[in-house]
């Protein structure tokens, strides 16, 4: 109670200063981690201690525990609403793909063949044609689209599926890179190249970027992939690239204009209005449980996760506080009332009645990143009050009347969303560089305390890009959609350069 009074008595200015100090402490902690190369361990600790996921008995596969899966369900719901609002329908295609299908698209098989899992026995017999466990479904869906598309009247075909896919990875990390992961994959068919390109960008902007900004509070950068980084078989790949707390980039969602490549390989043809039979234009686009890894690494701090409020599995936790047994009933009554009020307002709320000390519970829920903590002790119960503590700023602790608590929690959840976004944006800006020389480029990327996005002119030559990668481990993350006009000289080779690129080390 002492802390609470002190906090309530502070001026607004003092609070703001404290908040800024705390934010920078948190950020400094993560930066320190990165510098000491402990960031990976911090990430794993958070994933396991917050019970988002656990290791599985199958190498490289993970178990998503209820707290992690509830987060995924909220993310799915928000993403699915955007997918449907833009005119798409969900469907379900088979897990298995006939082995020969992958080979029909030359680049595609080259990209995926090394990492597929193959079923060779089923129902007690050797299969005559082995089956690939889908690493992505362009091929099997292409086969069906060839059957379903006959006339221009059948177009566009705008389907999506939520499913599991398997890509056998040598080095895995929960959420970021696992042999099995969950995702959505959209697959569309169009009459013209322009329509396919418009679809690819619609998904990038109105589905993915909108989702990252408004749901995950992540300021990703939408852009085009270079030729070397595009999806195997695509004409063009667009991406959202986000900057993690250690200064490395994460490719967070991708949208591919497949041109007519898959339409040719799988005979997706239609009779156009002019009577001519033509190959269709297709797109595909995906976002996966990898986004959960991004969310952890963008928002986490020294105390643990910080869940973006709109997708948080628990938005507010109520911690009852009592010492004597005779205080319990009054506290329980207040907790029940507050919980009911929050639930009625559509807030995802949980009361923590475990037999543990309040301090243990505070730490536990901070670790799990619950946006708002509500503390209710005997005096609060008596005074019709609640103590509210936002996860993003302990010093902004406030006392709220029980009658107004639901409304106040909603306001604070919105504030926390904005705070998380602004902190992530400020961090990204502080770690985005426009360098004047390749020496500076290398220095920044070699320094764990400074590493981040480097923006520079690039000549557009893949050989130059490959040399940069060999020398610095940095890749072109994207050619951002928003970029300076004009031209310059390539940051690596010094030749005339017309392409503005973002380089970074990446997950």
Binding site for a second copy (CB under 8 A): 54, 56-58, 61-66, 69-70, 72-73, 89-98, 101, 113-124, 130-131, 133, 140, 143-144, 147-148, 159, 163-164, 166, 168-170, 179-180, 182
Sign of CA dihedral 191, 194, 195, 200: positive
Query: Quick one: 88 or 397, whose CB is closer to a second copy?
Result: 88
Query: Quick one: 182 or 396, whose CB is closer to a second copy?
Result: 182
Spatial distance between the Cα atoms of 140 and 268, rounded to a whole number of angstroms: 12
Residue 162 C-beta: closest distance to a second copy, Å? 10
10 Å CB burial of residue 209 (0-12, 13-18, 19+) is buried
Residue 79 C-beta: closest distance to a second copy, Å? 14
Q: Which residues, in sequence order, are CB contacts of 185 under 8 Å at separation 6+? A: 136, 137, 160, 161, 163, 165, 284, 285, 286
Spatial distance between the Cα atoms of 461 and 498, rounded to a whole number of angstroms: 11
Residue 163 C-beta: closest distance to a second copy, Å? 7
DSSP category for residue 482: S
Query: Quick one: 122 or 329, whose CB is closer to a second copy?
Result: 122
Pairing of strands 453-458, 157-166: unpaired
- Bridge partners for 281 per DSSP: 190
The phi and psi torsions of 176 (rounded to 5 degrees) equal -75, -40
Residue 168 C-beta: closest distance to a second copy, Å? 3
Residue 405 C-beta: closest distance to a second copy, Å? 24
CA distances for 495 relative to 240, 441, 471, 491, 504, angstroms: 28, 16, 18, 8, 21
For residue 141, how many other CB atoms are within 10 A of its CB? Answer: 27
Residue 90 C-beta: closest distance to a second copy, Å? 5
Query: Quick one: 92 or 359, whose CB is closer to a second copy?
Result: 92
Spatial distance between the Cα atoms of 398 and 380, rounded to a whole number of angstroms: 12
Residue 189 C-beta: closest distance to a second copy, Å? 13
Query: Quick one: 170 or 495, whose CB is closer to a second copy?
Result: 170
Residue 92 C-beta: closest distance to a second copy, Å? 4
The phi and psi torsions of 95 (rounded to 5 degrees) equal -65, -35
Spatial distance between the Cα atoms of 239 and 148, rounded to a whole number of angstroms: 29
Query: Quick one: 76 or 242, whose CB is closer to a second copy?
Result: 76
Residue 349 C-beta: closest distance to a second copy, Å? 15
Reading phi first (left if > 0) and then psi (alpha if -120 to 50, else beta), residue 265 is in alpha
CA distances for 502 relative to 223, 226, 248, 299, 479, angstroms: 9, 10, 12, 22, 6
Query: Quick one: 122 or 345, whose CB is closer to a second copy?
Result: 122
Query: Quick one: 98 or 358, whose CB is closer to a second copy?
Result: 98
Query: Quick one: 48 or 438, whose CB is closer to a second copy?
Result: 48
- Residue 236's Cα: distance from chain center in Å? 21
DSSP category for residue 230: S
Query: Quick one: 159 or 262, whose CB is closer to a second copy?
Result: 159
Residue 61 C-beta: closest distance to a second copy, Å? 4
Query: Quick one: 62 or 451, whose CB is closer to a second copy?
Result: 62
Residue 70 C-beta: closest distance to a second copy, Å? 7
What string of DSSP letters covers 381-401?
Answer: HHHTEEEEEETT-GGG-EEEE
The pair of structure tokens assigned to 77 is: 């719901």
Largest CA distance in the chain: 85
Query: Quick one: 20 or 63, whose CB is closer to a second copy?
Result: 63
Residue 115 C-beta: closest distance to a second copy, Å? 6
Short-list 111, 104, 155, CA closest to 136: 111
Short-list 312, 330, 311, 310, CA closest to 320: 330
């Amino acid at each position: 109670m002492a802390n609470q009074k002190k906090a309530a008595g502070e001026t607004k200015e003092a609070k703001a200063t404290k908040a800024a100090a705390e934010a920078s402490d948190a950020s400094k902690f993560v930066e320190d981690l990165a510098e000491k190369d402990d960031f990976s361990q911090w990430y794993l600790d958070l994933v396991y201690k917050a019970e988002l996921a656990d290791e599985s008995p199958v190498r490289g596969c993970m178990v998503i525990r209820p707290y992690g899966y509830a987060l995924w369900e909220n993310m799915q719901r928000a993403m699915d609403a955007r997918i449907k609002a833009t005119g798409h329908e969900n469907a379900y295609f088979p897990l298995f793909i006939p082995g020969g299908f992958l080979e029909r698209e030359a680049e595609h098989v080259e990209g995926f063949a090394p990492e597929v899992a193959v079923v060779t026995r089923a129902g007690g017999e050797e299969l005559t044609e082995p089956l690939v466990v889908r690493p992505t479904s362009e091929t099997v869906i292409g086969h069906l689209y060839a059957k379903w598309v006959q006339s221009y009247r059948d177009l566009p075909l705008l389907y999506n599926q939520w499913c599991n896919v398997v890509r056998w990875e040598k080095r895995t990390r929960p959420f970021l890179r696992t042999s099995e992961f969950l995702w959505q994959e959209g697959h569309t068919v169009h009459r013209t190249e322009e329509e396919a390109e418009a679809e690819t960008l619609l998904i990038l902007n109105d589905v993915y970027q909108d989702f990252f900004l408004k749901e995950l509070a992540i300021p990703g950068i939408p852009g085009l992939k270079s030729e070397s980084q595009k999806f195997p078989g695509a004409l063009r790949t667009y991406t959202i690239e986000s900057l993690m707390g250690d200064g490395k980039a994460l490719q967070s969602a991708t949208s591919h204009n497949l041109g007519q490549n898959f339409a040719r390989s799988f005979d997706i043809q239609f009779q156009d209005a002019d009577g001519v039979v033509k190959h269709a234009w297709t797109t595909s686009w995906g976002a996966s449980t990898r986004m959960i890894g991004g969310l952890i690494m963008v928002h986490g701090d020294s105390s643990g996760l910080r869940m973006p409020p709109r997708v948080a599995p628990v938005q507010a936790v109520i911690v009852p506080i009592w010492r004597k047994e005779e205080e319990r009933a009054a506290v329980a009554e207040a907790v029940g009332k507050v919980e009911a009020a929050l639930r009625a307002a559509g807030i995802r709320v949980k009361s923590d009645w475990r037999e543990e000390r309040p301090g243990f519970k505070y730490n536990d829920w901070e670790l799990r990143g619950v946006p708002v903590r509500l503390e209710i002790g005997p005096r609060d119960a008596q005074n019709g009050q609640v103590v509210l503590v936002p996860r993003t700023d302990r010093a902004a602790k406030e006392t709220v009347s029980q009658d107004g608590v639901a409304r106040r929690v909603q306001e604070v959840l919105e504030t926390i969303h904005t705070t998380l976004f602004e902190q992530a944006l400020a961090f990204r800006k502080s770690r985005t560089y426009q360098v004047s020389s390749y020496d500076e480029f290398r220095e920044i990327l070699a320094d764990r305390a400074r590493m981040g996005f480097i923006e520079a002119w690039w000549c557009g030559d893949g050989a130059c890009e490959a040399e940069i990668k060999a020398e610095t481990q940095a890749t072109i993350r994207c050619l951002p959609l928003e970029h300076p006009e004009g031209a310059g000289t390539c940051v690596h080779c010094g030749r005339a350069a017309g392409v503005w690129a973002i380089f970074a080390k990446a997950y």
